[in-house]
Amino acid sequence: MLYLTEQGAVLGREGDRLVVRKGEEVLLSVPAFKVEGVWVFGGVSLTTPAIGLLLAQGIEVCFFTVEGRLKGRLTPILSRNALLRLRQFERYTNEGFRREIAAQIVAAKLENARRLLMRYARTYPERGWERPLQALERRIAQARAAPDLEALRGIEGSGTAAYFEAFREMVRGELRFEGRRRRPPRDPVNAMLSLGYALLTGEMIGKIAACGLDPYIGFYHEVRQGRPALALDLVEEFRHAVVDRLVLSLVNRRAFRAEDFEEREEDGAVLLRPEALRRYLTAYEAFMRRSPGEGAPSWRERLDEQVRRMVRAVWSGSPYMPFRMEA
Q: Report how far residue 97's alpha carbon sits from residue 91's, in angstroms, rounded to the nearest whole number.
A: 6
The full length of the chain comes to 327
If phi > 0 it is left, if psi is from -120 to 50 it is alpha, else beta; for residue 29 that is beta
Q: Which residues partner with 13 through β-bridges?
A: 18
Contact 58, 79 (CB under 8 A): no
CA 252 to chain centre: 21
What 3-state DSSP class applies to 61?
strand
**Does 221 appear as a known binding residue?**
yes
Q: What is the DSSP letter of 27?
A: E
Q: Cis link prior to 132 (omega < 30° from 0)?
A: no
**Where is 323: in which H helix or E strand?**
none
User: In the chain, what are the helix, strand and coil shares in percent, each to the nearest 5?
Assistant: 50, 15, 35
Give the residue from 251, 269, 258, 264 showing the smallest Cα distance to 194: 269
Burial 293-321 (b: 16+ CB within 10 A, else e): eeeeeebbebbbebbebbbebbbeeeebe
Q: Which residues partner with 29 through β-bridges?
A: 19
Phi (first) and psi of residue 154, to 5 degrees: -65, -40
- Say which residues have a Cβ less than 8 Å from residue 1's Cβ, sequence separation at least 6: 35, 36, 37, 38, 39, 285
Annotated binding site for Mn(2+): 156, 221, 236
Known binding residues are 156, 221, 236
